Structure 1
């Protein structure tokens, strides 16, 4: 079952073994977030283009990263990032980060969704980091309803409205987690990394070959 959504924010030229391990884990991957420079960067990065091609060839969704700054980032800037991910890295999906969960931001995100689909995003992941207004389930294929450390995750409360949707619609991203930690969501990523850059580590059960 494809259960792992991996936001691995390290350069392929610097961590080739880790990227090789991700490609090898393809049968278990829901998708991998491609994020060369908190977005696509200012020009194509050949190393990311190569690894994105390898992931696609292995049947893995390639999700282009775009920060939305909780609705404050202009629509045109977000869409530009998604188009660059498509054109430079062959991204077939989008990972929208720092997505607002408030109902009054829904029109903004509906516009982004329409533009993302028009740009070829077959999969749209919305990273709220917490449970949003239920109406966001109409926009995204996958909602990230938790992003944070393991200590906070252990006391996560799940609202009743989530039971109206399949478990496969929700994702939890957990860091600073011990090796025995397990996520409750059908789609997840649990990593040992901590501090300002936890997503520079692979999930516990995806290990580079030594």
Structure 2
């Protein structure tokens, strides 16, 4: 399925930026290889995604559904930009928010089976226009399963926005409606993406180092 929103494609040979060019928390300096997507670039891209979403879904009341925990930062920033558009343009849309927490893995392996372990009853989404906000699509299995789960509650429309989509041979071919960045098959952290709950407090999206993987291993 082709994405209706073009995205920034980061090539396999992208080297990233040296850590000492940016403000990195001291406790993470040895745990990261490179800054991959600087915070400012994330924010600019998110602003554009907000505009594209308004253009596509702007005739409707939207329920923005945040997939926790990794999606919370992108969700908050995206909604801030949509609220700014509501204030400053001719077209504005009423928006309500909801949260869902999923479990889709055993240790570090995705099972492809998802359990909803937090959030409201999905029946509140019946007849609504739903925008699912996700931090990263890896294989796409979790999102496909979530979409089929939502379908049972008959929402009027469902669109998905993901900050990142990973280029991986493990992909089932799922592509969201709106994509921020397409990234190579590397383990990235920061901007609320975690490694065993660490690195959520990092502004930039970075590639974790082997030292970091060992230090924060569960």
Return the TM-score normalized by structure 2.
Answer: 0.33
Find the structure with the greater CA-based Rg: 2
The structure with the greater share of residues assigned to helix is 1
The structure with the greater share of residues assigned to strand is 2
Return the TM-score normalized by structure 1.
Answer: 0.33
